[in-house]
């Protein structure tokens, strides 16, 4: 009822009013910002992103940020504090589902609390209630050095310790979602206490308060002592990767174009003709398809911040290199179209379907890799298991959007006509049909699957590769056909991902991006542009120039020093 009423009210209010309401909720209106500044000046408190830190939580200022490394540093600092006070503890190893977790015996809680409050005394240290992975951005928590923080440690059986950090401009880049769970385990004293999994507990067994942790719900007295006294605070024999953890290297491949480059525009003009354009859907050659709004810089920042497990990043371009990109970085390799096209004589091409059909030819590319457009971003800390299974399967993410049953034509958007041709191939090859499109996410790829497809359909690959502009006869080999083909071979399965999509040509873009800044609770998001009118280009540039540096405020190691 209330949801429907909210939708009705939202539909009737002007977009400018809705945006102002969102900014009011976020504390971003001019009078709110100035009032917060005056309060900070009077109280000596510091900024917490866009908000006044009413609980005295002063972030630790950093000049670079890697969420995975930050989490490891957090666990190390907690261990040092407990070791310094002689407090026994166990470190449950990380799994594909959770970070390392630290367990302390309930009887040692007072000493542990004192050790942590004294040892983690720098700016940004805080304690928070448990964080659900689905919640993502979970707020600021309570400062560890204040009475409220100590009370949380004294009373909670399970909590999160984290260090909040901010860019030099005050923009907070993490919260309790990057913290380390701390669990106080009770000790079994009875001879007849039953185990949930059957049998009886041995007296002296330590039982986790968080029985849903991903490693174990209890440790026998011998196992606890062995873990406490081992160098890693966990028995070495058990310190192996989880059977579900991806252990193979994963690379990232980007395709990128700067549509404002005069040399590139000249190459495009030289092969364009009115006759060819008449056969195409108008979006195939629309300038917005080739526009660069510096998204690649921020997409790479998202990789550095949230996906440091990526081995190597390949940037596929047509004789172009972003001027800010540090091509000497060992993770970065620029790949020209000439290096991957089986038949370079078909170049130049200005069709993403054609370029994508050749990506698996990149030399030394890992068997499993992610393909990203530059308008796709990691939105929070992610693990490789979001995209791949440890046994080699890849995930794909189905959209709610379905295909109509008409044959492909120039009336279809290129993505739709290609999807229909994919459908026809799957029907012919496997005797089944497909109905759905895919979300605009990082695209999990298997090089061996694509090699097998090209061996099976060499002319199809050659046809798509020589398709200079997006054409109704195209197939979307990488972004769609790969998934259905692999699924029917038993090598890919549907997955689940928390994902946001925004067509930046929509009038509600600024409001939705303002919400995204506040919540930061999506694994990935896409800022796509179907067809922007020339009059809206500057407005969109302004919106993205405000949003992207605020979401990703810290330069990545892939950028030249400025």
Same domain, yes or no: 29 and 97? no
Q: What is the torsional sign of CA 151, 152, 158, 159?
A: negative
Terminal CA-CA length for the chain:
53
Quick one: which of 220, 289, 297 has its CA closest to 257?
289
Same domain, yes or no: 146 and 69? yes
Q: Which residues of 120-144 are buried (b: 16+ CB within 10 A; e: fewer)?
A: beebbbbbbebbeeeebbbbbbbbb
Q: How confident is the model at residue 409 (pLDDT cuts 50, 70, 90)?
A: confident
47: pLDDT strictly greater than 80: no
Residue 514 lies in a domain: no
Same domain, yes or no: 271 and 214? no
49: pLDDT strictly greater than 50: no
Same domain, yes or no: 216 and 300? no
Q: Distance between CA 304 and CA 38 in Å, rounded?
A: 35
Instruction: State which of 457, 486, 504 marks the end of a domain.
Output: 504
Q: Which of 12-21, 46-55, 242-251 has the lowest mean pLDDT?
A: 46-55
The mean pLDDT of 416-437, rounded to a whole number, is: 94
- Write down the pLDDT at residue 95: 84
Residue 195 lies in a domain: yes
Same domain, yes or no: 33 and 68? no
**Percent of the chain scoring above 90 in pLDDT:** 63
Same domain, yes or no: 95 and 133? yes
Residue 13 lies in a domain: yes
The predicted-structure confidence for 97-130, as pLDDT tens digits, reads as follows 788 999 999 999 999 999 999 999 899 999 988 8
Instruction: State which of 504, 520, 536 marks the end of a domain.
Output: 504
Q: What is the largest CA-CA distance in the chain?
A: 87
The mean pLDDT of 438-447, rounded to a whole number, is: 97
Q: How confident is the model at residue 34 (pLDDT cuts 50, 70, 90)?
A: low
26: pLDDT strictly greater than 90: no
The predicted-structure confidence for 223-246, as pLDDT tens digits, reads as follows 999 999 999 999 876 667 888 999
Other residues' Cβ atoms within 10 Å of the Cβ of residue 521 = 17
Residue 37 lies in a domain: yes
- Write down the pLDDT at residue 44: 39
- Write down the pLDDT at residue 207: 93
Residue 513 lies in a domain: no
40: pLDDT strictly greater than 50: no
Determine contact, residues 388/454, Cβ cutoff 8 Å.
no
The domain in which residue 14 lies consists of: 2-44
37: pLDDT strictly greater than 80: no
288: pLDDT strictly greater than 60: no
- Write down the pLDDT at residue 6: 60
Same domain, yes or no: 78 and 145? yes
The mean pLDDT of 469-479, rounded to a whole number, is: 94
Same domain, yes or no: 289 and 383? yes
Same domain, yes or no: 93 and 161? yes
333: pLDDT strictly greater than 90: yes
Rg (CA), the chain: 27
The mean pLDDT of 271-289, rounded to a whole number, is: 57
Angle between helices 67-84 and 295-306 (to 10 degrees): 30
- Write down the pLDDT at residue 57: 78
The mean pLDDT of 284-312, rounded to a whole number, is: 83
> Which one-letter DSSP state was computed for residue 338?
G
Domain count within the chain: 3
139: pLDDT strictly greater than 60: no
Residue 559 lies in a domain: no
- Write down the pLDDT at residue 519: 85
Same domain, yes or no: 376 and 319? yes
Question: Tokens standing for 46?
Answer: 């510091």
Determine contact, residues 502/528, Cβ cutoff 8 Å.
yes
520: pLDDT strictly greater than 50: yes
The mean pLDDT of 514-542, rounded to a whole number, is: 82
Question: Tokens standing for 537?
Answer: 């280009």
Determine contact, residues 165/60, Cβ cutoff 8 Å.
yes
Determine contact, residues 138/99, Cβ cutoff 8 Å.
no
Residue 543 lies in a domain: no
Q: How confident is the model at residue 293 (pLDDT cuts 50, 70, 90)?
A: confident
Residue 245 lies in a domain: no
Q: Distance between CA 219 and CA 101 in Å, rounded?
A: 14
The predicted-structure confidence for 392-404, as pLDDT tens digits, reads as follows 999 999 999 899 8
DSSP per position, 362-390 = STT--SEEEEEETTEEE-S---GGGTB-T
Other residues' Cβ atoms within 10 Å of the Cβ of residue 390 = 16
| CATH code of the domain covering residue 422 | 3.90.550
Same domain, yes or no: 211 and 302? no
The predicted-structure confidence for 161-210, as pLDDT tens digits, reads as follows 999 999 999 898 998 889 999 999 999 999 888 888 888 999 999 999 87
Same domain, yes or no: 38 and 80? no
Mean pLDDT (the chain, rounded) = 87
Angle between helices 15-26 and 509-519 (to 10 degrees): 20
Quick one: which of 354, 305, 350, 304 has its CA closest to 326?
304
Dihedral through CA 150, CA 153, CA 159, CA 161, nearest 10? 50
Q: How confident is the model at residue 538 (pLDDT cuts 50, 70, 90)?
A: confident
Instruction: State which of 235, 260, 276 marks the end of a domain.
Output: 235
451: pLDDT strictly greater than 70: yes
């Amino acid at each position: 009822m209330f949801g429907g009423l909210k939708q009705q009210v939202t539909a009737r209010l002007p977009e400018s009013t809705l945006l102002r309401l969102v900014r009011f909720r976020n504390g971003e209106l001019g009078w709110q910002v100035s009032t917060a500044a005056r309060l900070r000046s009077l109280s000596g408190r510091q900024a917490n992103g866009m908000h006044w830190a009413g609980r005295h939580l002063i972030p630790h200022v950093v000049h670079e940020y890697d969420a995975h490394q930050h989490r490891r540093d957090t666990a190390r600092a907690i261990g040092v504090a407990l070791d310094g006070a002689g407090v026994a503890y166990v470190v449950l190893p990380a799994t594909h589902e959770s970070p390392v977790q630290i367990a302390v015996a309930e009887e040692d809680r007072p000493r542990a609390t004192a050790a942590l409050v004294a040892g983690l005394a720098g700016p940004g240290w805080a304690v928070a209630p448990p964080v659900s992975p689905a919640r993502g951005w979970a707020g600021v928590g309570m400062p560890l050095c204040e009475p409220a923080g100590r009370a949380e440690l004294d009373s909670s059986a399970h909590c999160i310790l984290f260090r909040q950090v901010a860019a030099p401009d005050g923009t907070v880049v993490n919260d309790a979602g990057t913290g380390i769970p701390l669990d106080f385990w009770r000790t079994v004293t009875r001879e007849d206490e039953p185990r949930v999994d059957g049998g009886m507990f041995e007296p002296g067994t330590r039982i986790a308060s968080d029985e849903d942790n991903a490693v174990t719900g209890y440790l026998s007295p011998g196992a606890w002592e062995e873990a406490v006294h081992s160098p890693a605070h966990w028995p070495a024999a058990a310190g192996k990767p989880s059977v579900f953890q991806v252990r193979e290297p994963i690379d990232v491949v980007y395709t990128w174009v700067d549509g404002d480059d005069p040399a590139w525009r000249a190459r495009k003009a030289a092969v364009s003709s009115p006759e060819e354009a008449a056969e195409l859907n108008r979006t195939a050659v629309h300038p917005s398809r080739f526009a660069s709004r510096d998204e690649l810089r921020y997409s790479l920042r998202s990789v550095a911040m949230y996906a440091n497990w990526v081995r190597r990043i390949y940037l596929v371009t047509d004789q172009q290199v972003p001027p800010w990109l540090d091509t000497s970085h060992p993770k970065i390799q620029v790949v020209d179209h000439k290096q991957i096209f089986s038949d370079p004589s078909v170049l130049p091409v200005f069709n993403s379907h054609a370029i994508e059909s050749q990506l698996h030819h990149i030399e030394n590319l890992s068997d499993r890799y992610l393909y990203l457009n530059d308008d796709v971003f990691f939105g929070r800390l992610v693990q490789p298991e979001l995209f791949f299974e440890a046994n080699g399967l890849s995930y794909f993410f189905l959209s709610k959007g379905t295909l109509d049953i008409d044959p492909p034509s120039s009336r279809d958007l290129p993505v739709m006509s290609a999807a229909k041709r994919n459908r026809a191939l799957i029907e012919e090859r496997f005797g089944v049909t497909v109905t759905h499109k895919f979300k605009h996410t990082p695209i999990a790829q298997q090089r061996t699957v694509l090699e097998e497809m090209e061996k099976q359909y060499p002319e199809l690959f050659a046809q798509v590769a020589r398709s200079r502009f997006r054409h109704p006869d195209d197939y979307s080999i990488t972004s769609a056909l790969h998934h259905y083909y692999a699924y029917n071979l038993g090598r890919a399965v549907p997955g689940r991902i928390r994902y946001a999509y925004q067509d930046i040509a929509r009038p509600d873009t600024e409001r939705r991006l303002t919400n995204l800044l506040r919540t930061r609770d999506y694994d990935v998001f896409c800022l796509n542009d179907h067809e922007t009118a020339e009059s809206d280009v500057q407005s969109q540039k302004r919106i993205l120039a405000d949003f992207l540096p605020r979401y990703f405020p810290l330069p990545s190691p892939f950028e030249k020093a400025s």
